[in-house]
Amino acid sequence: MIYLPYLVAAWLFLVGLYGIVTSRNLVHAVTCLSVVQSSTYILLLAVGFERGGTAPIFLDVPVGTKAVDPVVGALTLTDIVVGATVSALLLALAVQIYKHHGTLDPERFRSRED
């Protein structure tokens, strides 16, 4: 068992959250969210990793060849698609907010009652 990928995943998750919490720019915050999300890619791939395994393409290889888990690959791909959608939507919202406020700094447009 290799611990490095799990540590990297945890680090990315935390550092991305730190970035969102302290962000003073919405585009930066959206990028930090992508950092948080990339930790899930690494976690998924680490879970399905097989030392010495090949890509899970079972063509022209003998039966029983070691390969990494194809399911986590599929999950990661789905996750990436989700991430692209969310980022695009968030950036579109950020653009609209910039049009109204002339700034991307969340501290400068705190919401008020009503």
Partner 1 sequence: MDALPALPVAVPLLVAAALVGLAPVIRRQVADAVALATAVAVAALCAALLVQTAGGPVVYWFGGWRPRDGVALGVAFTVDPVGAAFATLAGVLAVAALVYSWRIFEAVSPLYHTLMLVFLAAIVGFCLSGDLFNMFVFYELLSVAAYALAGYHTEDPGSLRGALNFAMTNSVGAFLVLAGIALLYGRTGALNLAQLGQTLAAAPADRLVVVAFLLLMVGFFVKAAVVPFHFWLADAYALAPIPVGVLFAGVVSELGLYAVARVYWTVFSGPLAGGGGLRAVLLFGAAATALLGGVMCVLQHHLARMLAYATVSHVGLTLAGFALLGPDGLAGAVLYLVADGLVKGALFVSIGLVQHHLRDIRELELHGRGRHLPWAAALMALGALGLAGVPPFGTFRGKALMEEAAAAAGHAWLTALFVAVAALTSAALLRAAARVFLGIGAPRDRAPAVQHPHVHSTLLGPAVLLLAGALAVGLAPGLAGRVEVAAARFTDRPAYAAAVLQGATGEAARTTHHARGSLAVPAVLAVLSALLGAALALGALLPRRRPAGRLTRAAGRVWAPTAAVLRDLHSGNVGDSVAWLVVGLAGFGTLLALVAR
Residues that bind partner 1 (CB under 8 A): 9, 13, 17, 20-23, 26, 29-30, 33, 36-37, 39-40, 43-44, 47-48, 71-72, 75, 78-79, 82, 85-86, 89-90, 93-94, 96-97, 100-101, 106-107, 109-111, 113-114
> What residues form DSSP beta bridges with 54?
67
Q: Following DSSP, what letter does each residue of 37-99 receive, concatenated? A: HHHHHHHHHHHT--TT-B-S--SSS-TT--B--HHHHHHHHHHHHHHHHHHHHHHHHHHHHHH
Nearer to partner 1, 54 or 96 (CB): 96
Nearer to partner 1, 43 or 60 (CB): 43
Report the SS3 class of residue 27.
Answer: helix
Smallest separation (angstroms) from partner 1 to the CB of 90 = 5
